[in-house]
Amino acid sequence: MQEDLRNFISPEKLNEKDLLYILGEMPEIRFVSVAGVDLMGHETDAKIPVEIFIENIKQFLHGNAVSTDGSSVILPDIATINNGKIDMKADTSVKWWIDRNKDNIDSVTGLPVCTLKIPCFLIHDGQAVDSRSILKRAVSHFQAEIMSLIRKYPETVAGMNIIPEEIAGVEITAATELEFWARAQEDNLELEELSASQELKEQYWARTQGDIRTGLEQTLTTMSEYGLSPEMGHKEVGGVKSRVSRNGARQSIMEQLEVDWRFDHAMQAADNELMVKLIIRETFRRLDIDVTFLAKPMEGLSGSGEHHHMGVVLRLKNGDKINLFTGNEKHFLSRWGYAALMGLLHNYEIAVPFIVQSNDAFRRLKKGYEAPICIVASLGRTLEIPSRNRTVLVGLIRDATDPFATRFELRSPNPHTNTYLAMATMLQSMLHGIRWALNSDKNEDQLLKELCKQPGEQADYLEQTRMYRCEDDVFTAFTDKQRDVCFGRVPATVWENVQSFDLYPEKIPVLTAGGVFTPELIHSFRVAVTEKWRVELEHRIIPNFIKEIRSMCCLHQGGGNPGDDKRWQKVQALRYQLMLELDGRPGIFDRIHQAFDKNDLQTASDTQKIMYNAMKNLRQCYHEYRNHILD
């Protein structure tokens, strides 16, 4: 237990007596930090001297730990300038982390100065309004509703050889897979070199070397010390082999990595992800390697995903556990599992704004990058041999020899997805499908038949015009037009994504059921994500594009070689189209700025797509021009 106490404090120890004992035994803990998570996934951090915590420990544990004016969190139209008070209430149901600063050694103990990180809820006008509280409500609502449905329809668990009275509770298990890029001194790496390495899959699961190996090994070791149970760390498909200078030092590091760790209950799983990111950043920073969790750090290269896994287990009073989704020998899933999957797919349009919420995320979700852009699932080609289809939105993970392995893998999230909100929408969506199936007295055969329907076939729950199961590669088996018909039109920008709230008003009650989301929270999130879209586009993406365009210089002199002038003219035409006014028509960048000035968000969104296409063409033209320069 002492080993555990070095890095985290378990929920059963989060009481006044045990905390005071631990703090007395660990004088290197000099600060506490209250860590709430706002609607955009930003986690707060404030250094409070531990003496203040000890003096006010009852208030920290049972009241409002800290209050702020709301300027430190993103809760638009909730924490307003004239009503911005936010109270922070400690969560004693999860681990409290001990965060070590290895760059700051305590002069008394000789140990790194530590901060006790306290996960919190954000309270405004007496209501919890943060991401963690939304997930907490979703978990409680899901658990209560499942127990209620089991009591109402005991025959639905009879095939599992149990009766409702034997069930002690419902557990939601969750985990995430985290991909990221590690880079240092990569300026001299050519995009073509990186892209070729990716296409050849030279880096995927290759042996790590040098500082990358050290960083990955230290990350996994630290995760173990924090009780995070790492399962694997490996190189992903992106990147190139790092180069070695004459003195033996590695340079030009640009590699994509992935780390995976063991599942936990939903709230702890989301907290674990934030801690893993902190460990990764700090570990690689000490090696002078920058880490980015952007979904698409470089155009033309593999993006980073963060697949979300979720399952449901019944905990029996005798201590046994049963996977609620595992099917019998004739089915991929139980009726509970089929219904949950149908709920995920049917309600994805109103869940996706919370899952894919940035410009960067949409640059990742494009056809041809094995990214899930279609609302479709895969169950596997046969019952006997589970398979994986990386082109679908939701995959069924199962092991014929292990019933506890059955779970769903949502493939659209990325490392910047707000995991708390993503998991909350998953639970609400699954519950909607389960409630419909049981209230409609649907059995496994009927549910599987509807899940496997073809476009145009009759459906009682799913959309009649669509199909929802595919075991083929959706990018090669269908044309663009066929995909739109079979799976629905895919949003291409943040603005198109949030329009789902207006296009599917009948599905909003799925989110608000049980008071999990409120209309005020949905509105606040929508305002926040729309403003983030605008600011990123105007003040980050366009300025970066301008720098890139200005770097595309004319490389030939005089007449040059045959074709040089013509190829350069193509480049120039696109540069002008993007940046300059021609024949009285503003350049693309200016048209976006003007649209935002007029609050014409639809035009800004449409022009953003034109901008991306123009930049893609410009890069291709400049690449062709530069590659044909002889002298």
Is the pLDDT score of 197 beyond 50? no
**Strand partners of residue 309:** 175, 409
Which helix (H) or strand (E) segment is 173 a member of? Answer: strand 167-184
Say which DSSP state 535 is in: H
Q: Which two tokens stand for residue 278?
A: 């902190």
Distance from the Cα of residue 625 to its chain's centroid: 38
245 phi and psi, to 5 degrees? -80, 175
pLDDT tens for 73-84 read: 999 999 998 998
For residue 124, the SS3 value is strand
Q: Which two tokens stand for residue 366?
A: 């494009």
pLDDT score, position 203: 60
470 phi and psi, to 5 degrees? -150, 130
Least confident of 180-194, 219-233, 511-525, 606-620: 180-194
* The 3-state secondary structure of 566-617, one letter per residue: HHHHHHHHHHHHHHCCECCECCHHHHHHHHHHCCCHHHHHHHHHHHHHHHHH
**Strand partners of residue 395:** 378, 409
Is the pLDDT score of 200 beyond 80? no
pLDDT tens for 458-499 read: 999 999 999 999 999 998 899 989 999 999 888 999 999 999
Is the pLDDT score of 155 beyond 60? yes
Model pTM score: 0.93
For residue 498, the SS3 value is helix
pLDDT tens for 258-309 read: 999 999 999 999 999 999 999 999 999 999 999 999 988 877 677 899 999 9
**Strand partners of residue 246:** none
Q: Which two tokens stand for residue 585?
A: 């028509």
CB 289 within 8 A of CB 184: yes
pLDDT above 90: percentage of residues in the chain: 78
Which helix (H) or strand (E) segment is 175 a member of? Answer: strand 167-184
Average pLDDT (401-428) is: 95
562 phi and psi, to 5 degrees? -55, 125
Is the pLDDT score of 366 beyond 70? no
Is the pLDDT score of 191 beyond 90? no
pLDDT score, position 185: 63
CA distance 483 to 294: 27
151-156 contacts, C-beta under 8 A, 24 or more apart: 152/438, 153/438, 156/335, 156/336, 156/438
